Amino acid sequence: MSRRAPTKSQYTGTWHITEMDCWDADYINFVVPGYIRIDRDGHGFMQFGAVEADLDCRVEDVADIERLEFTFQGFDEGDPISGRGWGTASGSEMTRRLFIHQGDESGFMAAKTSPAKLQSSSAPRVIRLPKRMPPAGHGLEARPYSAEVLFQQHRPPLAQFARDLNIVPELVPEIEEDSWGTRASLEIWFQEINGPKLTFSIQRAHFKRKETYVRDLENFLGDIETLTYVEQVQIERH
């Protein structure tokens, strides 16, 4: 069995979808700023509008032109979708075209960015949570959130905080700044520690149901509050 070659660096990273032929900016950024993430191992993910899909990418030569070919599989408002597409990169810009199986096709432009810039480009709504929340129903929705945890005087190591909450590290042995972890249907990006404050982002894992995500998010926030070294939690809805 042949092994997949690593995806070339000019294609890897996070790309903000800036323009699409078939949909305007309001739709592209409906839930989160529309984006595509391509990993070095050829896997990836894209999200725009109500579309969320996993990518399987390979660099191919087509008519003597190198381009990134990909297939995708995911959901559009909960309905299964699949399709294919391609893209060519020039510096920090990428031109692409995607074809939804038995559906729309669209060209689009994307600009290379970072997860931090992508998160900050949206305008969050703030929900301030007390130390003790009611057991259910915090007005949570199936959307990404940014969270800020204020610790008491003795802040634990980040890896301990993650272990206490049963968060599984991704790609690193232990959770650290600028790393990802998972818990149930949650994907959690730990951004930075600034004194007694920890900032991280939470989003729904690929192919997980919305109601499952909301339930898991409520449980996660509740578990944070049970930690004796936590003073307060604040979340921002994107």
Could you state, in order of their start, the residue ranges of all structural domains in the chain? Answer: 13-118, 123-237
pLDDT at 121 over 70: no
Beta strands 186-194 and 145-151 are: unpaired
Q: Which pLDDT band, with edges at 50, 70 and 90, does 153 fall under? A: confident
pLDDT at 137 over 60: no
CATH code matching the domain that covers 13-118, chosen among 2.40.128, 2.40.10, 1.10.3470, 2.60.40: 2.40.128
Spatial distance between the Cα atoms of 122 and 29, rounded to a whole number of angstroms: 8
Higher pLDDT residue, 50 or 206? 50
Q: Which pLDDT band, with edges at 50, 70 and 90, does 123 fall under? A: very low
Model pLDDT, residue 103:
84
- Give SS3 for 80: strand
What are the pLDDT digits (tens) for 163-198? 999 999 988 889 988 889 999 999 999 988 888 899
Model pLDDT, residue 23:
87
Model pLDDT, residue 7:
66
- For the chain, how far is it from start to end, CA to CA, in angstroms? 43
What are the pLDDT digits (tens) for 1-36? 334 555 677 888 899 999 999 888 888 888 788 999
**Pair 51, 38: CB distance under 8 Å:** no
Largest CA distance in the chain: 63
- Give SS3 for 173: coil
CA atoms within 13 A on the CB side of 141: 11
Model pLDDT, residue 16:
93
pTM for this prediction = 0.51
| Domain 123-237: CATH class, spelled out | alpha beta
